[in-house]
């Protein structure tokens, strides 16, 4: 029988192990896991800290005994792989219980590495005082800290896990401050969407400090780069992860440009008998002709399954990664897939933007919540390059539809033709995703040109007239400087008073602006609609 040894018994490793067993009843499968647990729900850890998940047992999806009973897996926890002899095909293992214990060996025909990622450390005084949230053990330590009823906490890093951690600490009544070195929270999102998440944090009493790093950690809190002191009896570091390549490095496996394990399309490393999956490896990027680091559970699980297929001789299609991710921050949901605008700009890629600020379901049905969606696409071929959404319910569905469209390589205007489920509690007869398709279709094929909020100043300087086509009342409550109010329903009557253009038109979210723009163009004027209207303009300020 083939002998397969797997290093790391959580997302990627365990998916590979169980799939292997389903494909090969005779294989000898050994899973070696350094921590005390296998198959645990890392993604649930923040919610365990927040007591949303009350019982630690609920985080443990499997135990070695159950995995043996069902899959005949030889799962050894508390067991670290400390070396690989590639010539002789064995791994060297050491029990974590007895540091001095002898190193033993286990032979393999195929080896799968799924060692995950490790937290990026900070080279600052007092770093050792900071808590991490990577493992069940880390979560247990934080829960222990909380039992001493601290009053305040600082979370360093406002990425997905950092914000989940902040929310869950706030649930315990702590005064929480989030510190982020980037100029915004959730750097994976573009700033005009991230600001909506920041607003939600502030509304729930979480203080947010961006554009500053932590310089020192003390038992009372932290000192920032700019000298400010921030109180936090508990300080949690969540500044990101890097691939755990310690073992791969010792074994002389090739690393990629981003210091992740380099793999081919079948997830083979530079040694054809050693595969690697999950957070530790560099991923083929679905948007650029490049490799990326994407540390997400779905990707790790998919890769684990595919590697098992490959070992068992089953052909499977190589699927590059989009990096589809979602987070809930209090009542707001933020999600992203593909590249954001910042990354497209940095890569010098041509792109256009469509946005919409729809309700998640028919506005006449109770409970409708608004959301903001932004889609970036290639103007030459219509390929969707990225999408982001922030709102309440229904954000998850829209980002998943968009990610599916991207996987299927649907051009952006085809979103208009998707036949999506509708009844009033769930959507609108024109789903927000259809609306994005209409916008893109108009843009690509009907000459409807949108202007981004950051283009307004330049267009005004070139003599464009900025028209606010909302009502007088809306205009009074706040408008873009330099705009003239000309409500869409009165536009035809006011033509003699607004000049001859060219016109830059905006409304609240873009819909009335679109109607006004088509009207003006129909009359022979040059006109462009401000993408996402006043709402996007304000968020971008
Ligand atoms: P892991 O699941 O991290 O497993 C690697 C395992 O290998 C570890 O248990 C480690 O102990 C073990 N190991 C490493 N080296 C050795 C060795 N030498 N010998 C033996 N064992 C070793 N992703 C999402 O998509 N959505 C989320 O909501 C989400 N939330 C998260 C929240 C938190 C708090 C954390 C920490 C992660 C979250 N993630 C989330 C990321 C997700 O958990 C990872 O992408 C995924 O677990 C990666 O799978 P993996 O198999 O590559 O590594």
Q: What is the pLDDT of residues 159-204, one digit of tens each?
A: 999 999 999 999 999 999 999 999 999 999 999 999 999 999 999 9
CA–centroid distance, residue 134 to ligand 1 (Å): 8
Note the pLDDT of residue 59: 87
CB 57 within 8 Å of CB 32: no
Atom of ligand 1 nearest to the CA of 37: 9
ipTM: 0.99
The closest residue, in CA terms, to atom 15 on ligand 1 is: 115
Give the closest residue to 510 by CA, choosing from 447, 463, 442.
Answer: 442
The residue whose CB lies within 8 Å of the most ligand 1 atoms, and thus the one to mutate among 42, 132, 243, is 42
What are 396's strand-pairing partners? none
Confidence of residue 99 (pLDDT cuts 50, 70, 90): low
* CB atoms closer than 10 angstroms to residue 526: 14
**Sheet architecture: strand order including 352-356:** 325-329, 332-338, 384-391, 372-377, 352-356
**Which residue is listed with tokens 């041509």?**
350
Decide whether any atom of ligand 1 lies within 6 Å of the 34 Cβ: yes
Note the pLDDT of residue 40: 84
The closest residue, in CA terms, to atom 38 on ligand 1 is: 43
* CB atoms closer than 10 angstroms to residue 341: 21
The pLDDT tens digits of the residues spanning 514-523 come to 999 999 999 9
**pTM of the full predicted structure?**
0.92
- The DSSP element (H or E) to which 299 belongs, if any, is helix 297-311
Decide whether any atom of ligand 1 lies within 6 Å of the 327 Cβ: no
The pLDDT tens digits of the residues spanning 37-85 come to 998 888 999 999 998 998 888 888 889 999 999 999 999 999 999 999 9
CA–centroid distance, residue 36 to ligand 1 (Å): 14
For the segment 370-386, the average pLDDT, to the nearest whole number, is: 96
CA dihedral defined by 48, 51, 55, 56, rounded to 10 degrees? Answer: 20
User: Residue 446, SS3?
Assistant: coil
CA distance 353 to 218: 45
Atom of ligand 1 nearest to the CA of 82: 18
CA–centroid distance, residue 11 to ligand 1 (Å): 6
Note the pLDDT of residue 402: 98
The residue whose CB lies within 8 Å of the most ligand 1 atoms, and thus the one to mutate among 5, 6, 9, 10, is 10
* CB atoms closer than 10 angstroms to residue 251: 21
Tell me how far CA of residue 388 lies from CA of 315, 326, 356, 522, in angstroms: 33, 10, 11, 32
CA dihedral defined by 536, 539, 540, 541, rounded to 10 degrees? Answer: 130
CA distance 468 to 533: 9
On the 0-12 / 13-18 / 19+ scale of CB atoms within 10 A, 108 is: buried
CA–centroid distance, residue 186 to ligand 1 (Å): 20
Task: Answer whether residue 342 shows pLDDT above 90.
Answer: yes
Confidence of residue 116 (pLDDT cuts 50, 70, 90): very high
Task: Answer whether residue 387 shows pLDDT above 90.
Answer: yes
- Integer-rounded Cα Rg, in Å, for the chain is 26
Mean pLDDT of the chain: 94
**Which residue is listed with tokens 């006043």?**
534
What are 60's strand-pairing partners? 40
Task: Answer whether residue 126 shows pLDDT above 80.
Answer: yes
Decide whether any atom of ligand 1 lies within 6 Å of the 146 Cβ: no
CA distance 280 to 278: 5
311 Cβ contact list (under 8 Å, min separation 6): 2, 4, 20, 110, 112, 275
Helix ranges, 160-190 (H): 160-170
What are 233's strand-pairing partners? none
CA–centroid distance, residue 95 to ligand 1 (Å): 20
Q: Please state the φ and ψ torsions of residue 12, each to the nearest 5 degrees.
A: -65, -45
For the segment 404-422, the average pLDDT, to the nearest whole number, is: 97
Determine what percent of the chain is predicted with pLDDT higher than 90. Answer: 87
Confidence of residue 100 (pLDDT cuts 50, 70, 90): low
**Structure-block tokens of residue 531:** 């993408």
CA–centroid distance, residue 160 to ligand 1 (Å): 15
CA dihedral defined by 196, 202, 203, 204, rounded to 10 degrees? Answer: 120
Rounded (5°) CA angle 342-345-346: 85
Note the pLDDT of residue 91: 98
**Structure-block tokens of residue 530:** 């401000």
Note the pLDDT of residue 102: 84
* CB atoms closer than 10 angstroms to residue 52: 12
Q: Kindly give the pairing relationship between strand 352-356 and strand 291-292.
A: unpaired
Determine what percent of the chain is predicted with pLDDT higher than 70. Answer: 99
13 Cβ contact list (under 8 Å, min separation 6): 6, 7, 31, 33, 112, 114, 277, 278, 304
CB 200 within 8 Å of CB 329: yes
- The DSSP element (H or E) to which 126 belongs, if any, is none
294 Cβ contact list (under 8 Å, min separation 6): 283, 321, 323
The pLDDT tens digits of the residues spanning 229-250 come to 999 999 999 999 999 999 999 9
């Amino acid at each position: 029988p083939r002998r397969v040894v797997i290093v790391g018994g959580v997302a990627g490793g365990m998916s590979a192990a169980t799939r292997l067993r389903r494909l090969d009843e005779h294989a000898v499968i050994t899973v070696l896991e350094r921590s005390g647990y296998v198959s645990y729900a890392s993604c649930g850890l923040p919610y365990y800290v927040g007591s949303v998940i009350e019982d630690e047992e609920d985080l443990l999806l499997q135990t070695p005994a159950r995995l043996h009973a069902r899959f005949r897996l030889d799962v050894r926890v508390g067991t670290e792989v400390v070396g690989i002899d590639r010539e002789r095909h064995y791994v060297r293992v050491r029990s974590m219980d007895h540091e001095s214990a002898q190193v033993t060996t286990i032979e393999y025909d195929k080896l799968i590495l799924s060692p995950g990622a490790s937290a990026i450390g900070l080279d600052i005084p007092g770093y050792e005082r900071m808590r991490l949230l990577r493992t069940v053990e880390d979560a247990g330590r934080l829960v222990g800290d909380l039992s001493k009823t601290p009053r305040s906490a600082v979370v360093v890093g406002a990425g997905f896990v950092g914000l989940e951690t902040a929310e869950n600490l706030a649930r315990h009544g702590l005064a929480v401050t989030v510190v982020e070195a980037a100029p915004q929270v959730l750097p994976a999102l573009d700033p005009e969407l991230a600001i909506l998440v920041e607003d939600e944090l502030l509304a729930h009493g979480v203080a947010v400090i961006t554009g500053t790093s932590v310089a020192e950690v003390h038992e009372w809190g932290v000192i920032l780069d700019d000298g400010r002191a921030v109180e936090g009896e508990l300080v949690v570091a969540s500044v990101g992860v890097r691939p755990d390549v310690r073992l791969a490095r010792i074994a002389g496996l090739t690393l990629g440009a981003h210091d992740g394990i380099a793999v081919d399309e079948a997830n083979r490393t530079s040694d054809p008998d050693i595969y690697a999956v999950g957070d530790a490896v560099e991923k083929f990027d679905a948007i650029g002709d490049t490799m990326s680091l994407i540390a997400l559970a779905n990707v790790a699980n998919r890769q684990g399954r595919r590697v098992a297929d490959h070992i068992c001789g089953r052909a499977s299609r190589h699927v590059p990664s989009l990096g589809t991710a979602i987070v809930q921050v209090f009542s707001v949901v933020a999600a992203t897939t593909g590249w954001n605008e910042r990354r497209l700009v940095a890569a010098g890629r041509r792109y256009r933007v469509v946005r919409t600020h729809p309700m998640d379901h028919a506005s006449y049905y109770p409970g409708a919540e608004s959301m903001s969606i932004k889609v970036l696409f290639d103007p030459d071929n219509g390929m969707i390059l990225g999408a982001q959404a922030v709102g309440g319910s229904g954000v998850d569905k829209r980002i998943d539809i968009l990610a599916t469209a991207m996987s299927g390589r649907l051009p952006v205007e085809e979103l208009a033709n998707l036949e999506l489920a509708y009844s009033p509690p769930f959507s609108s007869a024109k789903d927000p995703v259809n609306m994005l398709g209409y916008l893109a279709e108009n843009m690509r094929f009907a000459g409807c040109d949108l202007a981004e909020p950051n283009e307004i100043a330049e267009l005004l300087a070139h003599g464009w007239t900025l028209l606010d086509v909302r009502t007088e009342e809306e205009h009074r409550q706040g408008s873009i400087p330099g705009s003239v109010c000309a409500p869409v329903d009165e536009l035809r009557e006011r033509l003699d008073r607004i000049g001859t253009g060219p016109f830059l038109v905006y409304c609240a979210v873009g819909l009335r602006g679109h109607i006004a723009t088509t009207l003006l163009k129909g009359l022979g004027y040059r006109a462009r609609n401000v993408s996402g209207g006043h709402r996007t303009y304000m968020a971008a300020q």
